[in-house]
Amino acid sequence: MIVLDFGNCCFNGSREEYIMIVVAPKTDFASKDAFLDGAIRFLNADENSDFFDDYEELYQERSYEPVNIDIDADFKNMNQRVGFLHEPVLQAFSVGKDEWNDWSAILETKSEYILYRWATSA
| Statement: residue 10 has pLDDT above 90 | no
Q: For the segment 62-71, what is each residue's pLDDT rounded down to a tens digit?
A: 888 999 888 8
Q: For the segment 55-106, what is each residue's pLDDT rounded down to a tens digit?
A: 777 788 888 899 988 887 777 777 666 777 889 999 999 997 777 778 899 9
Average pLDDT for the chain: 84
Range of the domain at 112: 2-46+53-120
| Statement: residue 13 has pLDDT above 70 | no
**Predicted pLDDT at 30:** 96
Q: Which residue would you say has higher pLDDT here, 7 or 33?
A: 33
How many domains does the structure of the chain reveal?
1
Cβ–Cβ < 8 Å for 102, 83: no
SS3 71: helix
Largest interatomic CA distance in the chain? 41
| Statement: residue 14 has pLDDT above 70 | no
**Predicted pLDDT at 12:** 66
Residue closest to 19 by CA, chosen among 7, 1, 36:
7
Beta strands (DSSP E) in 39-100 are 65-66, 91-99
